[in-house]
Structure 1
Amino acid sequence: MTFHHKEFHILSSSDKSKLYCQSWTKSNSNRLLIFHHGFGEHSGRYTNLIRYFSKSDINFYSFDMRGHGNSDGKRGHSDSFDLYVRDLADFVSEVLKREQKERFFLLGHSLGGAITLRYSQEGINQDNILGLILGSPALRVRMDFRKKLKNLLLVF
């Protein structure tokens, strides 16, 4: 069975920005995966991933984060990281209403991975997350890199 592709918009609860959303669904699917793209990307970039799972029983949902793809906002800009997290929370709530499901998986890549991770720690639906898939999440490493590099170079 093939996916039914739909495009729709939601309004961000924080500032009413219009966020472009997509779904790839099958009527008999039991599982739900919500994925979040990285910086400079858009939800349509993941169609190969969707095709790969075409025989699965997973419904896929994604959206273009503000300032990316077909969503509102200055390209590549957000006033705060928290806006990204709130947008994801709004999107997850909308998807759960559409799917009439409570449990879901989250996939995030790069900046989307960092947003997904923060959402999983703070989100209103965090107890309903079945699992996180983080692809190269944009996480900050807490160490003085220059000092470590200097010490490493002194060895040579």
Structure 2
Amino acid sequence: MDGTLKTYDNYDIYYQYHEVENAKATIVFSHGFVEYSAHYSRLAPMFNAHGYNVFKYDVRGHGGTTAPLGELKHFQDFADDLNVCVTWVQDRDSSLPVYTMGFSLGGMITAVYGIMYPYAIAGQILLGPGLLPQPQFREITESSISIHEFLELMGTSGDLWYQAISGDGFAVCTETCK
């Protein structure tokens, strides 16, 4: 399913929600800079196959989200947008744990979200977040694990992530974005 959610400043966040029966948890994914959720078309089916719901959205200023990137007032607007998404997922099924996952810019958004809303989620997956070793990120990065370790904890293998992101990304995008 896809749709839009409203931000605090009345922009539309475009999202795609991929749900499975008897899910173990929900993963809310934030993409990187100059990308959009369709670039990760393989991500949802891979996690779905292992029992995880996946919520992907277009970050402010990207894809189908209406907020222009040039009008960003504060970086925390990104985290507030992510909170709108997490809240929607939790309202849909409050019994499931929610993990936020982000790559590059999305990893930074995910990290800032964890600082702003530390008790809202079960955990975070940061993929190349570009964090400088600032004191506020020390606690996050010191206890980090690899994506392979995380996937093993979730009952899958590291091959899942490799399969989800490998291949010709441009070909995948052009096929799914026609």
Query: Given the two structures, how large is their TM-score scaled by the length of structure 2?
Result: 0.69
Within 5 Å, give how 1:110-149 maps onto structure 2: 110-123=104-117, 126-140=118-132
Q: Quick one: which amino acid aligns to residue 94 of structure 1?
A: W
Given the superposition, is the C-alpha separation of residues 121 and 141 from structure 1 closer, same or farther in structure 2, using an over 3 Å criterion? closer
Question: Larger Cα Rg: Structure 1 or Structure 2?
Answer: 1
Q: What is the Cα-based RMSD across aligned positions, in Å? A: 1.8
Does structure 2 conserve the Cα–Cα contact (< 8 Å) formed by 1:102 and 1:128? no
CA distance in 2, matches of 1:36, 1:77: 19
Alpha-carbon distance in structure 1 between the residues aligned to 2:54 and 2:94: 14
Partner in structure 1 of residue 148 of structure 2 = none
Q: Which structure: greater strand fraction?
A: 1
Structure 2 distance, partners of 1:127, 1:75, is 28
1:12, 1:64 → 2: CA distance? 12
CA distance in 2, matches of 1:90, 1:128: 11
Q: Where does structure 1 lack aligned partners over 5 or more consecutive residues?
A: 1-5, 143-156
Q: How far is the alpha carbon of 1:65 from its aligned partner?
A: 1.1
Are 1:51 and 2:45 an aligned pair?
yes
The 3-state SS of whatever aligns with 2:76 is: helix
* C-alpha contact 1:40 1:76 (8 A) present in aligned 2: no
Query: Given residue 3 of structure 2, which amino acid in structure 1 is its aligned partner?
Result: F
Give the 5 Å matches for 1:85-96: 85-96=79-90
TM-score by length of 1: 0.78
Deviation of 1:76 after TM superposition, in Å, equals 6.1
Quote the residue 1:8 is aligned against.
3
Higher helix fraction (1 or 2): 2
Secondary structure of residue in 1 paired with 2:16: strand
> 1:107 aligns to what?
101
Q: Which amino acid aligns with 1:136?
A: G
- Structure 1 67/133 Cα, relative in aligned 2: closer, same or farther at 3 Å? same
2:76–2:112: 8 Å Cα contact kept in structure 1?
no
Distance 1:18 1:128, change over 3 A: closer
